[in-house]
């Protein structure tokens, strides 16, 4: 049983993907890392589902 | 090198050189894809045109190859789309590879029931040849080859054009001048108008070849393929067994070295293997820009196609965007020169097609940024999406190897009447392109909705309560309860008003003659901006 959603859950995937890219524009590597860390923590708290988050951690490490 | 035989069209001495000058309603500069299409649309509405072109043959090289459904539907009105379908390669699906693994397969027209496919691949020179020949058969169109525009003098109610020919120079007066003269538009330069935008530095190599073995039919795009591991490659089939192979070379490639046949052969050998045989058709090393003019209208001079806006090639939005421009322009210009609509109607050409150009540039820029990431974080997210795509279907939707041309949205145009009935759950609303569908005539199957449309405004009614369309509007009753009903979210009484460029101007749940008349008036630039009471 998987807790992590695999199918598309975004109405306008190109819009949100490019918003993420634009947010990184002009940042140094270190600033990118810090930005991504804050972003991940914000999203993780919003998701709240620990099983899904743990599964995502595993998938991101192995994909 | 090329298997295509370039025709040279006959030059004729223009009558103006012998003193026979008359002001023309519309003069078109450029006999590429947009100019002749505009001339045909105007001729169909009784407006004669002169088309000026500086050379006497069609596009050199295959250039724009993907002809979209919405362009084919335009050309079908002049009886040449089927010829393009027969000559070209029909395709609707594509594959994206990461390394040597297929990670994503897309279908651009997953639902059947359209007269035309999503795309037909056909070299630009064939499209231009078919258009040119069709124009020659049209008495209202004067095709003038070897007529180069060397001066443009705008006035309040006309434009004077100075033209150079092998027999000398002459001047031509036009009520309206339409510049369809391409990305380097001489008319735009002569008027000193800006063309601003974004320049991309990655270089690409096009190798059009005839592969003498088996040919893949569908679009294939590779990120990091084993035969070109540092970058991307696009493969696309064209007519006459020609393959378009497009290699991304990167910023610092040496264009002169890359163009050498032995170096191209080396790349192709890695790609197709030791047994493959091919002949070269056309080669080009290119970079690209995304630019647009601030206004497409400058008094009586109108810009269309690449002259007005230019995009990267990913998405087939250049040639197809140009055809959509002139489809939008033609009926408005015809109403104005015949005195049936105010000049202000053309303001909507500017606003609607600039919105379209912005949408095309946005999509094209996003594809370009995905294919050629500009900074490390952008590349990291791109590579993450690619890596996740095999196991996670959501990531496939993020892979952007080109969002292929579909009719753009024209939201909130002053010509369109917003929905008043709030219960629409589907169907094309105002500002969206109409949809084709099979419609049976008297219960028979096999006819297409686009074949039943009249040239100008059309009123589509579903069910028995058919209203009489206003003067000059073709009425079409859609019977049965088939696919057309679903595509239009129709119930008995549902009514759509379709503009001549096949965009929806208004729609209602139950027909009201006064509202229909008001919507037609509004769509023709009379009573703009006021909702019908």
**CATH number of the domain that B425 lies in?**
3.40.30.120
Same domain, yes or no: B249 and B144: no
| Within a domain: A33 | yes
* Confidence at B109, pLDDT banded by 50, 70, 90: confident
For position B376, what pLDDT does the model report? 96
Boundaries of domain holding B329:
15-87+122-195+290-363
Tell me, yes or no, whether B443 lies in a domain.
yes
pLDDT greater than 50 at residue B302: yes
User: Which pLDDT belongs to residue B456?
Assistant: 95
pLDDT of residue B81: 98
Nearest to B245 by CA among B287, B200, B213, B211: B211
pLDDT category of residue B443 using cuts at 50, 70 and 90: very low
Q: Kindly state the DSSP code that residue B466 receives in the 8-state scheme.
A: P
Tokens, residue B267: 């790349």
Q: Is there a contact between B13 and B167 (Cβ–Cβ < 8 Å)? A: yes
Same domain, B67 and B167: yes
Interchain contact, B369 vs A17, CB within 8 Å? no
Q: Residue B531 above 70 pLDDT?
A: no
Residue B171 CA to residue B173 CA, distance in Å, equals 7
Q: How far apart are CA B108 and CA B118, in angstroms?
A: 6
Q: Which of B288, B303, B333 is the last residue of a domain?
A: B288
Percent of chain A with pLDDT over 70: 98
A62 touches chain B (CB under 8 A): no
In chain B, the number of structural domains is 3
Q: Looking at the domain assignment, is residue B3 inside a domain?
A: no
Last residue of a domain, one of B330, B363, B396: B363
Q: Is the pLDDT of residue B529 over 90?
A: no
- Chain A: residue whose CA lies nearest to B385: A17
φ/ψ bin of A19: left (φ > 0), alpha (ψ from -120 to 50), beta (otherwise): alpha
Residue-level pLDDT at B138: 97
The answer as to whether A37 is a domain residue is: yes
Grade residue B92 by pLDDT with cuts at 50, 70 and 90: confident
- Contact between chains at A14 and B403 (C-beta distance less than 8 A): yes
In terms of domains, do B466 and B319 share one?
A: no
| Of B353, B308, B11, B21, residue with least CA distance to B178 | B308
Q: Are residues B227 and B309 in the same domain?
A: no
Residue B104 forms part of a structural domain: no
Q: Binning pLDDT at 50, 70 and 90, where does residue B1 land?
A: low
| B404-436 confidence digits (pLDDT tens) | 989 999 989 999 999 998 899 999 999 999 999
| pLDDT, tens only, B163-200 | 999 999 999 999 999 999 999 999 999 999 999 999 99
Which stretches of B468-509 are DSSP H helices? 483-487
Strand partners, B143: B51
- Other beta carbons within 10 angstroms of residue A16's beta carbon come to 11
Residue A12 inside a domain? The answer is no
- CA–CA dist B419, B409 (Å, integer): 15
When pLDDT is cut at 50, 70 and 90, the band that residue B446 belongs to is low
Whether residue B7 lies inside any domain: the answer is no
Same-domain pairing of B419 and B299: no
Q: Flag if B394 and A7 touch (Cβ within 8 Å).
A: yes
Residues of B in Cβ contact (< 8 Å) with A29: 376
**Do B300 and B355 fall within a single domain?**
yes
Q: Which residue has the tokens 């050309």?
A: B75
* B52 & B36 share domain: yes
- Kindly list the residues from chain A whose CB atom is less than 8 angstroms away from the CB atom of residue B398: 13-14, 17
pLDDT per residue as tens digits for the range B512-521: 899 999 999 9
User: For residue A32, which residues of chain B lie inside 8 Å, CB to CB?
Assistant: 376-377
Average pLDDT over residues B148-162: 98
> B184 with B242, same domain?
no
More confident residue, B356 or B215: B356
- CB contact set of B303 (below 8 Å; sequence gap of 6+): B178, B179, B185, B187, B188, B293, B296, B297
Stretch among A32-46, A47-61, B65-79, B461-475 having the lowest mean pLDDT? B461-475
Q: Stretch B53-69: mean pLDDT, rounded?
A: 92
Residues B235 and B131 placed together within one structural domain of the fold:
no
From residue B508, alpha-carbon distances to B115, B270, B460, B465, B474 in Å are 26, 59, 10, 13, 17
Residue B196, pLDDT score: 94
Burial call B51-90: b when 16+ CB within 10 Å, e when fewer: bbbbebbbbebbbbbbbbbbbbbbbbbbebbebbbebbbe
Which pLDDT score, from 0 to 100, does residue B439 have? 87
* pTM for the predicted model, two decimal places: 0.94
The predicted structure's pLDDT at residue B408: 93
**For residue B414, is it within any domain?**
yes
Token pair of B285, please?
């090393």
> Residue A1: inside a domain, yes or no?
no
Contact B369 A18 (CB under 8 A): yes
Q: Distance between CA atoms of B145 and B159, rounded to whole angstroms?
A: 20
Asked if B403's CB is within 8 angstroms of A25's CB, the reply is no
Percent residues over pLDDT 90 in chain B: 82
The answer to whether residues B210 and B201 touch, using CB atoms and an 8 Å cutoff, is no
pLDDT for residue B250 is more than 80: yes
Question: B30 and B19: one domain?
Answer: yes
Please report how many Cα atoms fall inside a 13 Å half-sphere around the Cα of residue B465, on the Cβ side. Answer: 12
**B112: confidence class by pLDDT, cuts 50, 70, 90:** confident
Whichever domain contains B316, its CATH number is 3.50.50.60
B180 in the same domain as B72: yes
| Closest C-alpha among B215, B207, B219 to residue B281 | B207
Min Cα separation A29/chain B (Å)? 8
Residue B277 within a domain: yes
Domain membership flag for residue A53: yes
Band of the pLDDT at B215, cuts 50, 70, 90?
Answer: confident
- Cα–Cα distance for residue pair B135/B128, rounded to 1 Å: 10
B358 three-class SS: helix
Co-location of B321 and B468 in the same domain: no
Number of domains in chain A: 1
List of chain B residues whose C-beta atoms are within 8 Å of the C-beta of residue A13: 394, 397-398
Q: What is the distance in angstroms between the Cα of A22 and the nearest Cα belonging to chain B?
A: 8
ipTM entry? 0.96
pLDDT greater at residue B62 or residue B149: B149
Residue B245 reports pLDDT greater than 90: yes
Q: What is the mean pLDDT of chain B?
A: 93
Cα–Cα distances in Å, from B368 out to B46, B289, B364?
Answer: 42, 10, 6
Domain C-terminal end among B272, B288, B304: B288
The answer for A 9-38 residues in CB contact with B (under 8 A) is 9-10, 13-14, 17-18, 20-21, 24-25, 27, 29, 32
In a domain, A34, yes or no: yes
Residue A47 belongs to domain spanning: 27-62
Contact B474, B454 (CB under 8 A): yes
Give the model's pLDDT for residue B461.
93
The residue in chain A having the minimum alpha-carbon distance to the alpha carbon of residue B374 is: A25
Please indicate, yes or no, if residue B370 is contained in any of the structural domains. no
As a whole number of angstroms, the distance between CA B474 and CA B455 comes to: 8
Instruction: Count A/B contacts: CB-CB distance under 8 Å.
Output: 49
Q: How far apart are CA B508 and CA B482, in angstroms?
A: 19
Q: Is the pLDDT of residue B530 over 70?
A: no
B520 found inside a domain? yes
Task: Inform me whether the pLDDT recorded for B452 exceeds 90.
Answer: yes
Q: Helices (DSSP H) in chain A: which residue ranges?
A: 13-24, 29-47, 50-62
Residue from B175, B147, B111 nearest B30 by CA: B147
Min Cα separation B360/chain A (Å):
14
Q: What is the pLDDT averaged over residues B15-26?
A: 92
Dist. CA B43–CA B419, nearest whole Å: 34
């Amino acid at each position: 049983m998987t807790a992590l959603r695999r199918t598309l859950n975004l109405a306008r995937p190109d819009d949100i993907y490019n918003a993420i890219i634009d947010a990184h524009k002009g940042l140094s590597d270190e600033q990118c890392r810090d930005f991504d860390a804050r972003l991940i923590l914000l999203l993780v708290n919003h998701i709240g589902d620990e099983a899904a988050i743990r599964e995502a951690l595993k998938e991101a490490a192995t994909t | 090198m090329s298997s295509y035989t370039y025709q040279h069209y006959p030059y004729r001495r223009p009558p103006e050189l012998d003193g026979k000058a008359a002001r023309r309603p519309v003069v078109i500069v450029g006999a590429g894809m947009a100019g002749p299409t505009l001339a045909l649309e105007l001729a169909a509405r009784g407006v004669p045109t002169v088309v000026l072109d500086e050379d006497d043959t069609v596009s050199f090289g295959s250039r724009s190859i993907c002809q979209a459904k919405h362009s084919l539907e335009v050309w079908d009105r002049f009886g040449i789309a089927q010829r393009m379908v027969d000559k070209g390669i029909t395709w609707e699906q594509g594959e994206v590879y990461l390394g040597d693994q297929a990670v994503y397969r897309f279908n651009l027209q997953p639902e059947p029931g359209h007269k035309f496919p999503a795309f037909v691949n056909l070299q630009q020179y064939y499209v231009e040849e078919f258009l040119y020949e069709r124009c020659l058969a049209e008495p209202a169109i004067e095709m003038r080859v070897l007529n180069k525009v060397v001066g443009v003098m705008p006035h309040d109610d006309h434009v004077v054009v100075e033209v150079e020919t092998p027999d000398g120079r002459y001047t031509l007066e036009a009520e309206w001048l339409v510049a369809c003269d391409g990305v380097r538009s001489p008319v735009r330069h002569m008027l000193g108008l800006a063309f601003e935008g974004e320049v991309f530095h990655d270089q690409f190599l096009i190798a059009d070849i005839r592969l003498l073995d088996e040919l893949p039919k569908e679009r294939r795009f590779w990120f990091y393929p084993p035969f070109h591991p540092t970058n991307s490659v696009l493969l696309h089939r064209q007519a006459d067994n020609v393959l378009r192979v497009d290699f991304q070379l990167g910023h610092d490639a040496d264009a002169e070295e890359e163009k050498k046949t032995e170096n191209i052969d080396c790349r192709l050998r890695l790609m197709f293997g030791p047994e493959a045989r091919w002949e070269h058709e056309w080669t080009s090393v290119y970079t690209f820009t995304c630019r647009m003019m601030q206004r497409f209208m400058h008094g009586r001079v109108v810009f269309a196609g690449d002259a007005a806006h230019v995009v990267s090639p990913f998405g087939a939005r250049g040639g197809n965007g140009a055809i959509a421009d002139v489809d939008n322009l033609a009926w408005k210009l015809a109403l104005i020169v015949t005195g049936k609509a105010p000049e202000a109607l053309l303001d909507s050409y500017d606003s609607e097609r600039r919105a379209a150009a912005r949408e095309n540039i946005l999509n094209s820029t996003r594809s370009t940024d995905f294919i050629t990431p500009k900074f490390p974080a952008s590349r990291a997210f791109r590579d993450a999406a690619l890596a996740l795509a095999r196991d996670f279907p959501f990531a496939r939707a993020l892979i952007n190897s080109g969002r292929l041309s579909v009719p753009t949205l024209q939201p909130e145009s002053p010509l369109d009447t917003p929905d008043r009935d709030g219960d629409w759950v589907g169907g094309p609303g105002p500002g969206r392109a109409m949809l084709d569908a099979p419609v049976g005539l008297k219960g028979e199957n096999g006819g297409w909705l686009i074949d039943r449309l009249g040239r100008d405004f059309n009123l589509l009614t579903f069910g028995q309560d058919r209203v009489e369309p206003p003067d000059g509007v073709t009425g079409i009753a859609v019977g049965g309860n088939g696919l057309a009903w679903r595509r239009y979210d129709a119930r008995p009484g549902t009514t759509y008003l379709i503009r001549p460029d096949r965009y929806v101007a208004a729609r209602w749940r139950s027909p009201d003659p006064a509202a229909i008349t008001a919507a037609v008036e509004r769509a023709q630039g009379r009573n703009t901006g006021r909702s019908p009471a």
